[in-house]
Amino acid sequence: MKPRSAIHFASAALALAALAFAMPYATAADTVDPIADAKAFKKFFTDKFPKLKLEDFVNGPYSMNEDLHKQWEEKEQFPPYEFSLEMGKEMFTKPFKNGKSYEDCFPNKGIGIRQNYPTFDEKEGKVITLELALNRCREANGEPAFSYVKDEMAALTAYMAFTSRGKPMDIKIPSDPRALEAYEKGKEYFYTRRGQLNFSCATCHVQSPGERIRAEVLAPALGILNAMPIYRSEWSGMGTTSRRFTTCNSQIRGVPLSPQDDEYRNVEYYLSYVSNGLPISGPGARP
């Protein structure tokens, strides 16, 4: 991604630096307070876009102005993710070779649970995303793991997200200090600059939502994961949360981590938690 000019880049950098000092969720605090973080995060975006309802942020760039909202309404008439959704439903209900299925691996048989992921596994001491849980389910039943970035994994998570549409994101952070550490590391990753362009995730999705970089309208960070997985026109297909993270790292000319790396799982944990209460809207579609 390239900013429109050196002046634009400099002003964005200065504004984000000021934001880091002003906002409690963007600073290194002596104590971790996710509840305060989430409250401040939501307030920042509702103050920045006072005309938007809180639940509208899950529509990403399509919530930014009336013309884009009309485009979203038109897309939803014949959603480009529909083929993936149908594929995901068929895959989800098809038994494994051993006779079991995904339903045996998840609470409520895997239906209507998307809003609870990622979760923190206190036994393992790490964040478990839905994508990781699906592949672990496959491997536990003698099936090969899927790619984390598209195709089958995108279809499965699209179906599971669809069964949770409208349910509020409900991510839990247990009192286990390792869970708080994972959350804090995710927050730190989100605000840390990297790559040749020296951008952080927040540079685009906190400082500049609604602005354009090339032909893309930047989405607000609030609710950004509620719409995952997404169909993107530039991909000509579906992509998972893992694909979005690795693509963003590449766009800022950084070195992407491996999908489901601890750092990616932690940032997913952070972003999901601060969007608690906003509805699941996935699968989604973006330009």
**Nearest alpha-carbon partner for 89 in 39, 150, 156, 141:** 156
Q: Which of 105, 137, 201, 248 is catalytic?
A: 248
Count CB atoms within 10 A of the CB of residue 186: 24
Do the Cβ atoms of 81 and 230 come closer than 8 Å? Answer: yes
The reply to whether 248 belongs to the active site is: yes
Distance CA 172, CA 220 (A): 22
Let me know: does 1 contact 213? Beta carbons within 8 Å: yes
**Which candidate, 103, 92, 249, places its Cα nearest to that of 157?**
92
Measured in degrees and rounded to the nearest 5, phi and psi for residue 232 equal: -120, 135
DSSP state of 199: B
Nearest Cα residue to 16 out of 205, 249, 220: 205
Q: How far apart are CA 199 and CA 280, in angstroms?
A: 28
Cα angle vertex 202, ends 133, 271, to 5°?
Answer: 30
Q: Name the helix (H) or strand (E) containing 238.
A: strand 237-239
H or E segment to which residue 186 belongs: helix 177-191
Q: Is 120 helix (H, G, I), strand (E, B) or coil?
A: strand
Coil vs helix vs strand at 194? strand
Any idea how long the chain is?
Answer: 287
CA distances from residue 47 to 44, 53, 204 in whole angstroms, order as listed: 5, 11, 17
What residues are annotated to the active site?
248
